[in-house]
């Protein structure tokens, strides 16, 4: 194929896309879990169960998928080069914002598992839409390459 990845390019691309699916799926689930946890009484058995679910989601799916997505995505980016690929800069920018969102959601989950409710449930419901909007932007940047 092209670049330093050679014949491995398509395999790297496939792994990248697979783990992006896992990451986005987890980002759709985590805010929903936090919405359900928000309604529970701090210290209750139900809150403990939601905390356990959030921790498993974070440790088994979200964080590993984030890491693999970034590693393989940057491999692809360096393989084709950044020069003249403004769409790639835009995509990486949106992915960076999505990574910050990921960290914010994880931080909220940890605070909520300690009995805190640092944001309103309505805020979580609005925040739940961020992965969808980011996914739309990323797909347009990669497929359409508007600039």
**Secondary structure in 3-state letters for 101-119:** HHHHHHHHHHHHHCCCCCC
pLDDT in the model for residue 82:
85
Q: Is the pLDDT reported for residue 1 higher than 70? A: no
Measure the CA–CA gap between 146 and 80, rounded to whole angstroms: 18
Q: Is the pLDDT reported for residue 17 higher than 60? A: yes
DSSP string across 70-92: HHHHHHHHHHH-STT-HHHHHHH
Residues with Cβ within 8 Å of residue 102, at least 6 apart in sequence:
23, 27, 62, 66
Q: Is 16 annotated as a binding residue?
A: yes
The Cα-based distances of 35 to 74, 106, 109 in angstroms read: 33, 13, 10
Tokens of 83: 């020069």
Render pLDDT for 94-144 as a digit per residue (tens, 0 to 9): 999 999 999 999 999 999 999 999 999 999 999 999 999 999 999 999 999
Measure the CA–CA gap between 112 and 38, rounded to whole angstroms: 7
Beta strand extents in 56-135 (DSSP E only): none
Tell me the whole-structure pTM to 2 decimals: 0.94
Nearest to 95 by CA among 67, 121, 115: 67
Render pLDDT for 31-57 as a digit per residue (tens, 0 to 9): 999 999 999 999 999 999 999 999 999
Q: Is 89 annotated as a binding residue?
A: no
Q: Are the C-beta atoms of 87 and 147 separated by less than 8 Å?
A: yes
């Amino acid at each position: 194929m092209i670049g330093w990845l050679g014949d491995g390019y398509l395999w790297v691309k496939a792994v990248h896309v697979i783990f992006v699916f896992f990451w986005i799926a987890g980002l759709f689930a985590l805010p929903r879990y936090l919405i359900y946890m928000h309604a529970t009484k701090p210290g209750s058995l139900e809150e403990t169960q939601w905390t356990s679910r959030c921790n498993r989601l974070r440790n088994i799916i979200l964080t590993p998928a984030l890491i693999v997505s970034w590693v393989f995505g940057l491999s692809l980016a360096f393989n084709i080069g950044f020069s003249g690929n403004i769409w790639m800069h835009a995509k990486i920018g949106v992915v960076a914002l999505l990574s910050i969102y990921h960290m914010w959601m994880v931080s909220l989950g940890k605070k909520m598992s300690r009995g805190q409710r640092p944001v309103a449930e309505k805020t979580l419901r609005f925040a739940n839409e961020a992965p969808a909007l980011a996914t739309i932007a990323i797909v347009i940047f990669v497929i359409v390459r508007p600039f």
